[in-house]
Amino acid sequence: MKRRIGILTSGGDCPGLNAAIRGVARAAYETFDAEIIGIMDGYRGLIEGEYRLMSKPDFSGILTLGGTILGTSRRPFREMRVIGDDNVDKVAAMKKTYENLKLDCLVTLGGNGTHKTANLLSEEGLNVIGLPKTIDNDIYGTDFTFGFHTAVEIATDVIDRLHTTAASHGRCMVVEIMGNKAGWLTLYAGMAGGADAILLPEIPYDLDKVAKMVETRAKNNKAFSIIAVAEGAMDEKESKLKRKERDAKRKEQGFHGIADRIARQLTELVGVEARAVVPGHIQRGGSPCAYDRVLSTQFGVHAADLIKKGKYGVSVALVGNEVTHNKLSDIAGVAKPVPTDHQMVDLARNIGISFGD
């Protein structure tokens, strides 16, 4: 029996999306009679009925390709059941496209928002399988998401390169790493890059303690410091505010990003020459690293096996060394921040890295 499989990529792009698409397709073609429909630009394509029938050559030569051949877009979950000025019932429209295409299942590649919508569609009766991608590594139920390790390598390379210029000029370099709600990427890249301080959203920092770390290094004849800070990091005072209050206060202050603010504050407090560096979307671009190529392929093949077995309403995951799956209803909308007592945090503290607390 032929199975018609819809595939879409939603949310921010990251390395490994094409490798995962390829894994699903090639395993499906090899193990059962499959027809694959590419849904264009994420859930927008599913809502508006934009798709293309794909064939085997479409999945050739994309293992190393960054981005996504299907295109992507952001559709916030909170808006999915809201009927806007266009008078479109998004959930009804997605179900209609699914039915019109005579799909047997839908494979969604994305992060937290994508998984929440995938679970919504599953609850509406659609056969859905999720694949966890995000450079933030903040999807509950899986040890790692694809895209994360590539981003760690890129961010680490940035920090590595900052060491030489910081040492040459005796500067304090504050590098802003992606991660608004979770600090996994900053933690791993900071560790791998030999940062002197790592500031995470999960551990509010005291600027005076960060300044003391910089001063102590200077007294010990270490003329430079490297601070890796997650874009969502906040100081202790901000951590006591609600998000809207914090955003409003930052707007009043002319906030241009956390690294910029910390660099300016350290210059005023310590008198060091501090510079902010923001690699930004470089961290989510380019070809996936070897680890992510393998992980994406493993996830894609496992998804194809789930389709063959008719097991839906789940998201693929890596737990320990085993590729497995979780119920969408168990993981959708569940946060995965860095625990403050995580082994990596303890390890960092034991080698003298400051978290500003």
Distances (CA, A) of 139 to 142, 143, 172, 274, 327: 7, 9, 33, 34, 13
Q: How far is the C-alpha of 118 from the C-alpha of 126, rounded, in Å? A: 9
Query: In this structure, how many other beta carbons lie within 10 angstroms of the beta carbon of residue 45?
Result: 24
Q: How far is the C-alpha of 213 from the C-alpha of 168, rounded, in Å? A: 20
Cβ density class 63-75: b for 16+ within 10 Å, e for less: bebbbbbbbbeeb
Cβ density class 244-258: b for 16+ within 10 Å, e for less: eebeeebeeeeeebb
198 forms bridges with which residues in the sheet? 228
Distances (CA, A) of 55 to 25, 34, 60: 9, 10, 10
229 forms bridges with which residues in the sheet? 176, 199
Residue 105 corresponds to which tokens in the numbers above?
Answer: 């299942």
Residue 97 corresponds to which tokens in the numbers above?
Answer: 């496209």
Helices and strands counted in the chain (H then E) = 13, 11
Is 58 considered catalytic here? no
Classify residue 272 by its DSSP letter. Answer: -
Would you call 210 helix, strand, or coil by DSSP? helix
Active-site position among 104, 136, 260, 292: 136
Residue 221 corresponds to which tokens in the numbers above?
Answer: 């004849």
Nearest to 257 by CA among 299, 281, 229, 284: 229
Q: Cβ distance 337 to 144 under 8 Å? A: no
Angle between helices 258-270 and 207-219 (to 10 degrees): 60
Residues annotated catalytic, as ranges: 136
